[in-house]
Copies of this chain bind each other. A is one copy, B any other.
Amino acid sequence: MTDLRSHRIAALAEGISTAHMDGLLVTGSANVRYLTGFSGSSALLFVTAREAVLITDFRYQTQAAEEVGDLARIVIEPQSLWTGLWQNLAQLNYVEVAGFESAHLVHRDFQRLLESGSRCQWRPTLDLVEVLRERKDEDEVARIRAAVAAAERALELTMSSVGAGMSELAIAGVLESALRQAGSDGFPFPSIVASGPNAALPHARPTPRLLAKGDFLLLDFGARVGGYCSDITRTFIVGRASSEQREVYEVVRLANERATRAVRPGMTGRDADGVARGYIEDRGFGDLFGHSLGHGIGLEVHEAPRLAKTAEGTLVEGAVVTVEPGIYRPGWGGVRIEDDVHLCADGTQVLTRFPRELIEIG
């Protein structure tokens, strides 16, 4: 791991130099973690071709030492991280032009750069670390695989105890407890447990609603292992599926299947999205698939690349993305089937293995 992080910092230093800058202030917390291993919520990282300085606070003293080792100089700042930054920048007198992360610095902190950090000339940058993160290395893929395995074990355990009469909240409790048992060290995003009409809300939160016969039950959740996320969705039927439910389910299942088979490095995100969207439109449900097909996963549950109508960029080899078509009819319910896919040199490897056929429960 130490080696890989050194490579990452070296690759970033190259990007900084190519952009004609002497250093980069890294404020995105996933970017800080990617480069140094530090997993705390409060840090400023300054990277140059010669060194890396991580400024954090007392709460993370022990943790930073353990996680970062000698990959960066660690500064524990008692007052404000920004005071620590100015003090340390003052010592790096070879830094004349420095970048900051335009997508990860709020305006208030940008003002600090102009006011107090004026010894440097500051330049906004976009995605210098994100482009590195898009291509997962072996260690990262192994962690995502472990997070997928944990999520699938938890789902199996959960489905064995779910049935009509249980509340969405209780199901979320069983699922999240199973995720912990499976080794998940956190929840990458709020679990969605949506039944009946709630399944029509793509971002529903669990409610006290009780599962009833004839309901859809949609579970969208993930595990986090070694910092890396999985993200999976399955939709079940409580009792027996109606013919309409079966029809919608099959359209989504086949859209998912076509897209996971088609997606590969070199394709644009728009074309990948188009495979699933085109199929759903042809079957007459185009208006009911209002979100995009998928997104990259890694240290964050939403990261580059995007698989969407407006995504002109080319999917790179090594990315791990979700493929998650859905059909939602307000008041009636919805179906989404989501897999995690690794875009390898020789095509596509679907990491999620939980069955995609319609399952009728309880």
Contact = CB atoms under 8 A, between A and B. Distances in A.
Interface of A: 39-41, 57-63, 79, 100, 102-108, 110-111, 124, 126, 169-170, 172-174, 176-181, 183-187, 190, 200-208, 290-291, 310, 330
Contacts of A183: 169, 208
Contacts of A110: 107, 110
Given A173-B177, A180-B206, 6 more contacts: A39-B205, A40-B203, A58-B290, A106-B106, A169-B185, A173-B178
A92 B177 CA distance: 50
A47 to B, nearest CB: 18
**Number of copies of this protein chain within its complex:** 2
Contact of A176 (B79, B173, B202): B173
A190 B40 CA distance: 12
Nearest to A169: B180
A183 to B, nearest CB: 6
B106 A104 contact: yes
Contacts of A290: 58-59, 61
A179 B173 contact: yes
Contact of A107 (B63, B100, B178, B208): B100
A173 B186 CA distance: 10
Q: Which of A176, A178, A180 has the most chain B CB atoms closer than 10 A to its own CB?
A: A180
A124 B111 contact: yes
A185 B209 CA distance: 12
Contacts of A108: 102-103, 124, 126
A151 to B, nearest CB: 14
A185 B173 contact: no
Top-9 shortest CB links A-B? A173-B180, A58-B290, A173-B177, A177-B177, A59-B202, A102-B108, A102-B107, A107-B110, A103-B108
Contacts of A200: 62
